[in-house]
């Protein structure tokens, strides 16, 4: 598997080869150097923006299985308007989901956080602030933000074990912070993009079509469209032979 160290090692060897050939007068090496730079930057960018890549952090993003099982995850809550509806739907279907909660929302809605725990769901770390520039912070600042969320989760009698990076973006600073936090990073195999969706039927159809054995599905419990389609999604998935299991069965 490609990782940050391997990509940089291979690129360094290619750069060295290009420079040596340039010194010896082989002008075509300029083009090879440009291509190497483009590929190097491209691989590092792919690693940063695709949480499944494993370039910086090895994350759990699916389970390798032929069994029709999947995990439901919800980001960015708890949310006073839509989390209760989602909890009721999950209760109806007797499903245990994983909620990647933002610390400041836990702070704002402690009763709702307690209700998530009471109903048998997993609460996981999604940073304290979910800051827009989180990915550019120094690793110690990232760690403080992650630990602030973990502290709030512990107040509800839960020891956090799982972490999902904001926007799914990873980099060397975050890798260092996550290692220090001793949390396991979780990605997804299906990104619903419910934060951008406007057509409930289209969203429902899209996620159903992408459902595969071992899927980890990313929804948001602060979106009205998610509360709107969730019952239908679970019902159709179950009709197709799927069952939803706690994330602990994938870890």
Q: CA 146, CA 70: separation in Å to the nearest integer?
A: 27
What is the residue-wise DSSP string for the chain? ---HHHHHHHHHHHHHHHHHHHHTT-TTHHHHHHHHHHHHHHHHHHHHH-TTS-SS---B-B---SS-EEEEEEES---TTTHHHHHHHHHHHT---EEEE-HHHHHH-HHHHHHHHHTT-EEEE--SS--TTGGGS-HHHHHHHHHHHHHHHHTTT----EE--GGG---HHHHHHHHHHTPEEB--SEE--TTT---HHHHHHHHHHH--TTEEEEEETT-HHHHHHHHHHHHHHHHTT-EE--GGGT-
Write down the catalytic residue from 75, 76, 145, 221: 75
- Catalytic (active site) residue 75: yes
Identified catalytic residue from 121, 130, 220, 221: 220
Radius of gyration from C-alpha coordinates of the chain = 21
Active site residue 220: yes
Cis peptide before 65 (omega within 30 of 0): no
Burial environment of residue 5 by CB neighbours within 10 A (0 to 12, 13 to 18, 19 or more):
exposed
> Which amino acids are annotated catalytic?
75, 220
């Amino acid at each position: 598997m490609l990782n940050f160290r391997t990509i940089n090692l291979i690129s360094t060897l290619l750069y060295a080869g290009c420079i040596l050939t340039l010194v010896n007068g082989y002008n075509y090496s300029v083009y090879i150097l440009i291509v190497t730079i483009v590929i190097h930057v491209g691989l590092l960018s792919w690693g940063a923006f695709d949480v499944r890549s494993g370039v910086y952090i090895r994350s759990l993003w699916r389970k390798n299985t032929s069994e029709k099982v999947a995990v439901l995850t919800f980001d960015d809550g708890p949310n006073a308007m839509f989390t209760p509806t989602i909890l009721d739907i999950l209760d109806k279907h007797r499903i245990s989901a994983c909620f990647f909660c933002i610390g400041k929302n836990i702070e704002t809605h402690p009763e709702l956080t307690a209700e998530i725990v009471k109903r048998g769901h997993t609460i996981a770390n999604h940073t304290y602030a979910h800051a827009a520039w989180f990915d550019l912070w120094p690793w110690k600042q990232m760690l403080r933000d992650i630990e602030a969320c973990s502290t709030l989760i512990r107040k509800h009698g839960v020891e956090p074990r799982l972490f999902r990076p904001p926007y799914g973006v990873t980099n060397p600073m975050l890798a260092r912070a996550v290692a220090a936090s001793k949390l396991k990073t979780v990605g997804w195999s299906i990104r619903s993009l419910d934060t951008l969706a406007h057509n409930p039927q289209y969203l429902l159809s899209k996620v159903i079509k992408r459902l595969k054995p071992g899927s980890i599905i990313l929804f948001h419990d602060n979106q009205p469209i998610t509360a709107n389609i969730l019952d239908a999604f679970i019902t159709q998935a179950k009709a197709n032979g799927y069952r939803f299991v706690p994330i602990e069965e994938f870890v």
